[in-house]
Structure 1
Amino acid sequence: MAYRLIIILALLFNKNLYSQNNSISDTEKQSNSLTSEKKKLNTIPSDEKVLIDGELDESIWQKAEIATNFVMFEPDNGKPIAQNKKSDVKIVYDNEAIYIGAMLYDNEPNKIMKEITQRDNDGSSDFFGVSINGYNDGQQEFRFYVTAAGVQLDCNSNSQTGEDFSWDAIWESKTKITDKGWIVEMRIPYSALRFSKESVQTWGINFLRQIRRDRQLYTWTHIDNKKGSFEQQAGELHGIENIKTPTRLFFFPYASIYVSNDKKNGTKTELKGGLDIKYGINDAFTLDAILVPDFGQTALDNQILNLGPFEQQFNENRPFFTEGTDLFSKGDLFYSRRIGGRPSLRRGGLNQEKETNEIIEEYPSKVNLLNALKISGRTKGGLGIGFLNAITQKTEATLLDTISQTKRKVIIEPITNFSILTLDQRFNKNSSVSLVNTNVTRDGEFRDANVTALVWDLNTTKNTFNLSGDFKYSNVNEYKNLDDRKGYNTSLNFAETSGKIRFNVGAKYVSKEYDNNDLGINFITNYSSVSGNINYRMLKPSENLNAFRLNWNVYTEYENITGKLQGLNLNTNYHFTTKKNNGFGVGFNSKPINTYDFYSPGAEGRFVTIPKNYGAWVYYSSNYNKKFAVDIEPYFTEYFEGDRIEYGISFGPRYRLNNKISFILNYNFGKQNSDRGLVDYQGDNIIYAQRDVNSSTLALSTKYALNNKMTININSRYYWSYVQNDKFLSLQTNGTLIDSDYTNSLNQDFNTWNIDCSYSWWISPGSQLNMLYRNTSLNSLSEIQNIDKNVSHNFNSLFGDKLQHTFSISLRYFLDYNRAKSWI
């Protein structure tokens, strides 16, 4: 049935694909004259002060060269911009910064979309942006955007990882809407960029403009979507000469107050203060340091009921570990949540340290970070160097003797040093080879770990083919273990990266002893895999569609020792966007033969059989330009094993009342019927349960923007998951499950609640005041006989004595050494 539907969908799109082919030639003819040669823009020095007021009334703007003749990037790639949407951009510079002035014409200025959002979120707005590559090496760009509402966005971008909006720079911008369109004026200091110290600079540059109501994106230099890389098709900026950049030394002192209250501990007040430092070693390398960290206002982790054999992976919310860390992501060895994460000696392991009559009175769940620094940059020859080091505090648990009432401390995490070093050599404007090393050194009777990786990403001169891969080697030393555990992980991938039809094939091998989990995260080892993908994409809009893509994927995975198939997935999916900018997608998954899970049993050499299955999903996402929009995605997976099935739905309506107020609701429901999962051990007997698992998440985000510098955000989340065991099963050595006489009741009920109400005010560039009220609650029950499935009862159980309240105010101030020096 699934394959019949695939054929029908392909036939339905056949007309669209042919009509697309017939429409290519005209627009290509129009744009060939614009794309035959790389565009160049000359800038001039300014001898007058440029005021960032959105006026462009300084005389220097009249003398500057104009960058114009923008070309559409999407949806109709290569089509010149209409004359009534003409975009004219100029650049001037002095010894402190470059200045960008843009006149963005619009024949219907009253239709310019300008929703006010938080920083790094363009919302439903027009925007203008500039991409700057100080090395002109076609690989990494710093991008600065500003919306028609005056909201700033910034990121760094490269062809391997895409745009990273966690990076934040300090720069100025101002916008103004006129009867001819809108004006943008920017001041980007050299401290926000990276470039070599040459008397004559040549930078890669491009400008971007989004006309949101038409969902059209234009660039100054044409970006041909038949080619694989955005960064390599930039134009060039000439004319910056003999600049004398100021000292790049910035201080970020901060002060915070926290007031917390809960039933158990009462009310506590805590004052914090500290300092972050950013120092430009030269125009290419920067040192960042946090001397006294304060992460009290970072976003909460979205906890779930984790029934699998692997830990839950959380997003990094601490700015120091998200900003400008692209070099440290090479080789996928760095999971920053390890720093200041859970102690090495878990609560279960601490039970072995207890004496008779002792109980665990206090067990800290996290380790405090003492300080951290990172150095990163790139030489003129393309060598990127990144070094990050962090030290965490010794952490102790308290054991209480219930008879003598004496207490003693047990170290659960010693003082620990984490470091990562990356050397990344770029060449040919599209390729790189990297050497990465991570090291964790713990004091005393705890394990140390070292992991090294060689990573390569090689592209042909015309960006038509790519060869990528890595070789990783880990060495873990357990205290008093004479034999270190050594393992390796290697992969190789080959891909075609241009044209309408593209493909990739890859293979991977991971040895049993490979372990990078001290500073990285890795779930499975002892396997080898082979994968492949072929996809088709529209490069031009057709008569009925703006975009269309079709993918076929295959993935196989084998356990190394037995050679058993432990992973298999055959998948095909379609994605398309209509002329009204509504998105649709459908996918089909199939595992046509049984596979074997070697991880959930948690015992050497044991495995459980996963029956063959098939599934499907579909999604619809309406145009976000409209005040009301909705996302919806149902799915199901059916197993060839009794009545075992999984199904669910995600539903996300959103409403934008006006440019200042918006609401986003997200509801997710998932049901696993007659699932099989590990519950207990009885000697060598491994007990599974046939169980039903129900999970629901309801989240609401509300935004009220007073202006483009002040926003109030309210984010709430309620999560509930429960497990009802139907019967118990015993795992056999051949991977099958048979009925067991196990009788313990191990039903589970897990629910959490949290709400964050925050007020954020960007007082000036780099300086921010934050006020936050937060309340959280968690209710986790296990080994229960009966589950209360009443939603209101369950929700109410989270309140009352379980609620924890926190109110905090934090002020972070940006202080430029050069200005402070002038005060003195």
Structure 2
Amino acid sequence: MKFRFFLLASLILPVSVFNITDVDAQVLYEKKTLEAVRATEPPVIDGIIDEQVWQTSNIAGDFIQYSPYGGQPSKLDTEVRFLFDDEAVYIAAMMYDTSPDSIYRNLGQRDNDRDLNADFFYVDISTFNDGLNGETFKISASGVQSDMKARSSGERRDRRHGDSSWDAVWYSSVRINETGWVTEVKIPFSALRFPSNQVQTWGVNFWREIRRYREISSWNYVDREAGSTFNHLGEVSRLSDIVPPVRFSFTPYVSGYIEKYNGQEPDYTANGGVDIKYGINESFTLDATLIPDFGQVQSDDMVLNLTPYEVKYNERRPFFMEGTELFNRGDIFYSRRIGSMPRYHNNAADSLEDNEILSNNPQESSLINASKISGRTKSGLGIGFFNAITREMYAIITDTLTYGERHVTTGPLTNYNMLVLDQTLKNGSFVSLMNTNVWQPWDHNEKKYTANVSGAELKLQNASKLYSVSARATLSQKYNSGAENEFGHSYQLEGGKTGGKFRASYSLSALSDTYDPNDMGYLRRNNEFNNSVEFSYNTFQPFWKIYTTRNSISFNYSQLYCPRLYTGSSISLNSMTIFSNYWSLMIRSDYKPAGEDDYYEPRIPGRYYHRPEELMGFIKFDTDKSKRFYFNFSASFTKIFSEDEQFIYSFSAEPEVKLSSRAVAGVNVSYQKNVNDIGFVSSNMDDIFFGLRDNSTISSTLNLEYIFIADMYITFRMRHYWSRADYADDYFLLGNDGSLSSVIYEDDHDYNYNAFNIDMVYTWRFAPGSEMSLVWKNSIYADSEEIYYDFEDNIRHMFETGSTNSLSLKILYYLDWMYFQKRR
């Protein structure tokens, strides 16, 4: 009875008492149009709208709130002007404000708009006006630029989502005066892709964010309940006689490194290369990097992995992050595969003979070059092609008696390819085809190796964007010359009411036991057949002391794909509330009433471990991040109903303080302990051994940031991660029925692991698209079979291991072909 009451209360929430009364509903949903005016001379981008040419332009105004009170007029007036000439579009925006001294204007890093405490103006531009694809150019009241590409998935997204790794070269200036603040923006045509039609109409929307009111408003009204914001663009018409320019730029770089490992002589290296961007035609662009250098990217957050699954690390290399939205189709591309550990890295140690040592065995494959071609035709067909080549890798083995050296090949030359075709349809729908291909001229048996993954994806939604259905199917193929080929497949279906306050959806996913996209993709595990249903109720208009809420309940039923055996079921409850003071609260609970038959932990196909009934609770709250002091706290507790009194608890705390408008300091501390955890330790033939252990993990990260000016800043990040697996004397033999029986076991599997990293980065964007960066890195990775219980003892042991220090300088300079054309 209590559960029924809780379920009913979580789904039937009070609806907003606010209705759209100030704006007529029919007028509200009408698409606005602004007629563009050709500039007789380009305005000066100085933040002062005093040129006569601006007076000839039309004005876009009457902004409507996106949030908090969707559909009501903005609290403050905004006027936007739009001009164009043969070179660029020009935008001037006057953000009126009755209290200019209250305008938020903190400084921050470029593209870090999510964490920047400032007012904003931004413009969405979809040159093909298809409701799916486009770019956003965003400027803060403090002059910090951000830009992003819209995701072409057609999925719902909030105002801040997009591919922020995309960087364009554009110009802006900001001034605050007695009536508010002003921005002028110049977006060169070289930053955009558009058709060569004589007269064009672009999809455009203008946005304003007033930080102190938490208000986001737009020129063309956007309904938060239905669809991506790019489904609700207004239009700028009569863009005439504009010709797509020659889009050709190149960014050469030089870099130098000094790297020193504890007690050894320093190594000195110098690098040089170039990034190239070429507009093949009005719609397609070639991006290429030759002899790239990614040595300055942030260090990975390494962890102790006791699971049977591969750890997935985030991509941080700029080339593989920027402009890759098309390549996300089908979820079959994981860019970290390119340049990853050589395929036969471990063979080097296995080949050691008497009196030999392993002198050098690279952890990463060297990238020779990478390129991508992407764009979209006038008919809405998106085409993307990606290619990368890594060189043959080898390890160096030294004879300790004769000092002779020999090489052991650890990885073949590898060619990576991906092709995507993506057709946009009405109402933000789409259909896509995609293929990845990995080719190696030989493997460790000196045989050719090819891996293909091919797929198709479809999403259809109605005109109101409230109902949708989606489907995906993929086929993996591995061809080994002289060996048996391996084929596998997967498919997914999902549909329901996916917009509005109340939503309901059903999904089915199947992955065959031979499906393997991991040569160029990432799949945590295969051999699954899942059915799930979800119901949710959301509120978008403020009521009482609540700004917005999201609530859902979902049910999941899981089986193996082959043989079709039951593995588990679960119920999940989620609730998230943002209050009127912009604090937020999130609550989640997961329950597995029958436990789970885990076919992956034993590490041997066909065997499983039966995990007992499990109940998890999670809570998280955040304070208002715009305030000088911000605090985030979360905690969870999992009860596992077994005879061994198993449970898991964790907490995380993240205080952050804005020391000034230029400086921010923050700390993140987390702790998790798995008490009486039971997991795999080893196997011998058909005997699989499990052990009882306590696994404790503590992680702490210090982040410091200081902004000198909008284009110059320094960041400092220090992370320490400590995890230990402390085994008791209780070991078990896994039975064929998934149960465990006690066994005498002699080996010791205690493990103590530390990872310590410092990343300190000074960045100066000294010209548009050009940058100088000075980076200091320090890293320590220490593991031991001896468990340290005392924090000081552990730290002392970690620093005794020795560290690697790296100091590097990199300078890249942006050169645009149009600049040289003008000077002729």
* TM-score, structure 1 as length reference: 0.96
Provide the residue aligned with 2:755 in structure 1.
752
Moved more, 679-688 or 331-340: 679-688
Aligned AA (1:73): Y
Separation of aligned partners in 1, 2:264 and 2:512: 48
Compute the displacement of 1:8 (Å). 9.6
Deviation at 1:677, TM superposition (A): 1.2
Is 1:478 the counterpart of 2:480? The answer is: yes
2:261 and 2:792 map into 1 onto residues whose CA distance is 23
Cα offset for 1:299? 1.0
* Counterpart residue number, 2:429: 431
User: Residue deviations 1:292-331, cap 9 Å, x none?
Assistant: 1011111111000011111111111111100010000000
RMSD: 1.8
Which residue type is aligned with residue 746 of structure 1? H
Tell me, yes or no, if structure 1 residue 65 matches structure 2 residue 46. Answer: no
3-state SS of the aligned residue for 2:343?
Answer: coil
Give the alignment of 1:672-683 within 5 angstroms: 672-683=674-685
Contact 1:23 1:542 in 2 (8 A): yes
- Number of the residue aligned with 1:23: 18
Q: Between 808-817 and 494-503, report the one with greater CA deviation.
A: 494-503
Q: Which residue of 1 aligns with 2:672?
A: 670
* Residue in structure 2 matched with residue 106 of structure 1 by the alignment: 97
Asked if the contact 1:618–1:635 (Cα under 8 Å) also holds between the matched residues in 2, the reply is yes
Matched, 1:818 2:821: no
**1:667-746 map, 5 Å:** 667-726=669-728, 727-746=730-749
1:738-776 CA-to-partner distances (Å, cap 9, x unmatched) read 111011111000011111111111111101111111111
Q: SS where residue 802 of structure 1 aligns?
A: coil
How far off its partner does 1:658 sit? 1.4
Alignment of 1:418-497 (within 5 A): 418-444=416-442, 445=446, 447-481=449-483, 483-497=484-498
CA contact (8 A) 1:139 1:429 kept: no
Hey, what's the Cα distance between the residues in 2 that align with 1:120 and 1:137? 25
Contact 2:330 2:434 in 1 (8 A): yes
Paired letter, 1:517: N
- Whether contact under 8 Å (1:31, 1:78) holds in the other structure is no
Matched ranges for 1:135-534 at <5 A: 135-158=128-151, 159-160=154-155, 162-263=161-262, 265-347=264-346, 349-350=347-348, 353=351, 360-400=358-398, 406-444=404-442, 445=446, 447-481=449-483, 483-534=484-535
C-alpha contact (below 8 Å) 2:427/2:462 kept by paired residues: no
Does the CA-based 8 Å contact 1:2-1:588 persist in structure 2?
no
The answer to whether the 8 Å contact 2:256/2:810 transfers is yes
Q: Find the residue that maps to 1:593 and give its secondary structure.
A: coil
CA distance in 2, matches of 1:406, 1:583: 64
| CA offsets 1:487-533 (integer angstroms, 9 cap, x no match) | 10111111212221011111011111111110001121112110111
Contact residue 258 and residue 266 of structure 2 kept, 8 A? yes
Structure 1 Cα separation of the partners of residues 356 and 682 of structure 2: 25
Q: Deviations over 1:57-111 (max 9, x none)?
A: 11111110000000110111111113xx100001101111101100001101111
Cα gap change, 1:399 to 1:257, in 2 (>3 Å): closer
Decide whether the 8 Å contact of 1:679 with 1:746 is kept in 2.
Answer: yes
For 2:496 and 2:357, locate their aligned partners in 1 and report how far apart those are by CA, in whole Å.
57
In 2, the alpha carbon distance for the partners of 1:823 and 1:256 equals 30
Given that residues 555 and 570 in structure 1 are in contact (C-alpha distance below 8 angstroms), is that contact kept between their aligned partners in structure 2? yes
User: Do the aligned partners of residues 511 and 773 (structure 1) sit closer, same or farther apart at CA in structure 2, a change above 3 Å counting?
Assistant: same
Q: Matches of 2:97 and 2:540 in 1, distance apart? A: 26
Distance 1:522 1:427 in 2: 29
Aligned residue type for 1:216: E
The count of aligned residue pairs is 810
Q: Distance in 1 between matches of 2:349 and 2:754?
A: 27
Q: Please give the alpha-carbon distance, in whole angstroms, between the structure 2 residues aligned to 1:264 and 1:441.
A: 41
Aligned sequence identity (%)? 33
Give how far 1:375 is off. Answer: 0.4
Unmatched runs of 5 consecutive residues or more in structure 1: none
Unaligned runs of 5+ in 2: none
Work out the CA distance in 2 between the residues paired with 1:31 and 1:717: 54
1:651 & 1:54 partners in 2: Cα distance?
41
Counterpart amino acid of residue 117 in structure 1: G
Q: Distance in 1 between matches of 2:457 and 2:810?
A: 41
Q: How far did 1:10 drift?
A: 4.1
CA contact (8 A) 1:598 1:607 kept: yes
Residue 735 to residue 197, structure 1, CA distance change in 2 (3 Å): same
**Letter of the aligned partner of 2:631 in structure 1?**
V
Distance 1:575 1:654 in 2: 22
CA contact (8 A) 2:478 2:486 kept: yes
SS in 2 for 1:513: coil
Contact 1:95 1:245 in 2 (8 A): no
**Offset of residue 225 of structure 1:** 2.0
TM-score calculated relative to the size of structure 2: 0.96
Counterpart AA for 1:635:
S
Q: Secondary structure at the match of 1:386?
A: strand
Listed as ranges, the matches of 1:593-672 within 5 Å are: 593-641=594-642, 642-672=644-674
Corresponding residue for 1:75? Answer: 68
Deviation at 1:556, TM superposition (A): 2.0
> CA, structure 1 residues 321+733, in 2 after alignment: closer, same or farther (shift >3 Å)?
same
1:71 partner amino acid: I
Shift of 1:692: 0.3
- Deviation per CA, 1:373-432, whole angstroms, max 9, x where unpaired? 100000000100000100001001234456766432222111110000001011114111
Give 2:84's match in structure 1, choosing from 59, 71, 93.
Answer: 93
Contact persistence 1:422–1:437 (CA under 8 A):
yes
Note the C-alpha offset of 1:611.
0.9
- Find the aligned partners of 2:336 and 2:401 in 1 and give their Cα distance: 39
Q: Is the 8 A contact 1:74 1:218 kept in 2?
A: yes
Residues 765/405 of structure 1: CA separation in 2 closer, same or farther (3 Å cut) = closer
